[in-house]
Amino acid sequence: MKKIAAIGEAMLELSHQSDTTLALSFAGDTLNFAIYLRRLLPIHPQQFDIHYVTAIGNDPYSDTMLTNWQQEKLNTDLVVRVKKKLPGLYLIRTNTAGERTFYFYRQHSAAKEFFNDSHAIDLLQPLLTMDYLYLSGIVLAILDPSSRERLWALLEEAKKKGLKIIFDTNYRAVLWPSQQSAKEAIEHTLPWVDIALPTLLDEQALFSDANAEACAQRLLKKGITEIVVKCGAEPAFVATMNQQTSVPACTSEKVIDTTGAGDSFNAAYMAARLLGWEPIKAAQWGHRLAATVITCPGAIIPKTIMPHLY
């Protein structure tokens, strides 16, 4: 059995149904990845165990979140419950092209505490039994400096033990005190990364990469051996030690909401790779799922319209 742990922040998602009516859901970049990955990979026989690792409160909304994840067949054994804390919350507004604007309420989110001194000790050993760890720049951003150091210590130990580290930069300027602090934290993380799944716009904002190929070349020089640079509706750029090529995106007839598109691409790409497919074919599946996700509101689409990998 392969064990994959996605580490990060899950939030309450409120999306507009009209100007005054909101729909409640649950999302977060690494949670979106974990849910889509679990949906795409076979459950029987039990070949893949997908863990979600975060902190939530003891409130009714946190209870509902946990139940929802369990219904999605995620392993929630490593979800930390924090007293007197609540999940973060965000609202989404989309324009006529499906592009979204987020409004966050997460200053006191429970997830900011899941790697503090009292919880990190309990998480360390279980996480080191995994085969893969998945994280993003958002978890780096929400942790305080001491917790971030503990996370880096985990990555260093995981690398020594042969775990594969998967990383999506997912740069959100509003979460960082400065662009330079984000750049430094992400650069500090890269030496432990095996598979990078960045978005070109994020990389350009931080590292001024001229294009997707330049981004991939920079990451290859960091020792990362498998890279897919996502470029929205433009071709993704796949780079390994043996090949470098562009993979055209799939088209969607009508774009409703681009929330979660990149996370779903990452999940389909990794699901295909875990099933033994080559990177180019895996990227094609990433595009296919992302093209479906953007035709629905919210980050998580109904199971009934999920494409199947096998």
Active site residue ranges: 263
Rounded-to-integer distance, Cα 224 and Cα 239, Å: 10
Rounded-to-integer distance, Cα 40 and Cα 122, Å: 29
Longest pairwise C-alpha distance within the chain:
53
Tokens of 21: 């009516």
Rounded-to-integer distance, Cα 91 and Cα 103, Å: 5
| Strand extents, DSSP E, the chain | 2-7, 11-16, 22-27, 48-53, 55-56, 80-81, 88-94, 100-105, 132-136, 164-168, 195-196, 226-231, 234-240, 244-247
Rounded-to-integer distance, Cα 138 and Cα 108, Å: 15
Place of tokens 């409160």: 57
Rounded-to-integer distance, Cα 41 and Cα 297, Å: 23
Instruction: Catalogue the long-range contacts made by 177-182 (C-beta closer than 8 Å, 24 or more residues apart).
Output: 179/205, 179/206, 182/137, 182/140, 182/141, 182/206
